Chains A and B, each alone.
Chain A
Amino acid sequence: MAQSARTRWLPWIVLGAVVVGVLVFTAWPRGVDESTAARTHRIASELRCVDCESLSVADSATSTAAATRADIATRIRHGESDAEIRQVYVDRYGESVLLKPSSSGLGVLVWALPIAALVIGAGGIALALRRWSRQPRLVASEADEELVATERTRR
């Protein structure tokens, strides 16, 4: 019985471990030893090019985008954090300059809602599976077996 319970929960434990592992891996801060050029490119790719269509500052060839990249690199050399640099551009152009929604204020819903939907969906599936596994299996009654045997004999 104990063995059966363990076997039943094992896939869920493994699934939980995988989900936690993926979340930790993606949220873990990286790029501590990132070069100025790589950091400039990363921040520039998160900012919308303000004088062109559907391009990031990293991908745009306009002189304003080039000036923005140079400005980001200067700010990095002066020791400003990623958040401080982003804020300079939000102050200058508004939230719409960010290609990735902000993770504070209303913007947090953009990130939280899909996760909430995933959790609710997974919970629903788990409950449904539990309910189905508890339903008694169909067992043929003696009358049913007799009917089937009669029919087979007749053929």
Chain B
Amino acid sequence: MKHPFRWIALAVGAGVCVLAVVLALTVSSDPHQDSNTSRLVGKTAPAFSVQSLDGKPITSGSFAGKTVLVNFWNSWCIPCRQEHDALSSWYAEHRNDPSVALVGIVREDTKQAVRSYVKDEKVTWPVGFDPGAKAALDFGTRGQPETYAIGPDGLVVASKFGPVTPQVLDQMVAFAQGTS
């Protein structure tokens, strides 16, 4: 080895190049993407069992064969309040459609606050408390609001992190029913 320092410099340079490639790959894979998309899409929806405001069970099994929109929300989150009108108007239009259902699952909130909100804001679709946050965990939620569309075959076909609009909900349903 005639010039050992030359080899060391070469090795360090190669190391820096490898590091640069790794960084470039990491940046191109968008670290925020993980937090904006659900990995549940395309998979079988987790079975859930939540409690309605009057303590009755609301289970995923009771919606078998329907397209179900599962909306994770709570009373104190501003985006949840912002999407309330969209959910209300969408539900008013579809409440008598036997092929679709909307369920609100409460995330990180107290029963008292939710009861007040449901009464004051006239929430008419089924709302359930999630004991032990099991449903929130099984759906892989990261916050609220988050909405998941489950097709009649039980597969999660779409998800939306953040407030929805009636158009988005219609798109999710159309996608779930294969009519988009």
Contact of A92 among B31, B39, B132 (CB under 8 A): B39
Interface residue total, chain B, C-beta cutoff 8 A: 28
Contact of A120 among B8, B35, B39, B143 (CB under 8 A): B8
CB-CB under 8 A for A94 and B15, given A63-B108, A124-B8: no
Judged by DSSP, the binding face of B is helix
Q: Are A92 and B140 in contact (CB under 8 A)?
A: yes
Q: Is A12 part of the contact surface with B, judged by Cβ < 8 Å?
A: no
Task: Bits for A44-80, please: 1 = Cβ < 8 Å to B, else 0.
Answer: 0000001100000000001110111011000000000
Give A109 to B35 CA distance when docked, in angstroms: 24
Interface residues of B (CB under 8 A from A): 4-5, 8, 11-12, 15, 18-19, 22, 25-26, 31, 33-35, 39-40, 107-108, 132-134, 136-137, 140-143
Interface residues of A (CB under 8 A from B): 50-51, 62-64, 66-68, 70-71, 91-97, 106, 109, 113, 116-117, 120, 123-124, 127
Inter-chain pairs besides A67-B133, A127-B5, 19 sampled, C-beta below 8 Å: A50-B140, A51-B142, A51-B143, A63-B132, A63-B136, A67-B137, A70-B132, A71-B137, A91-B39, A92-B39, A93-B142, A94-B35, A96-B31, A97-B34, A106-B25, A109-B19, A113-B19, A120-B15, A123-B8
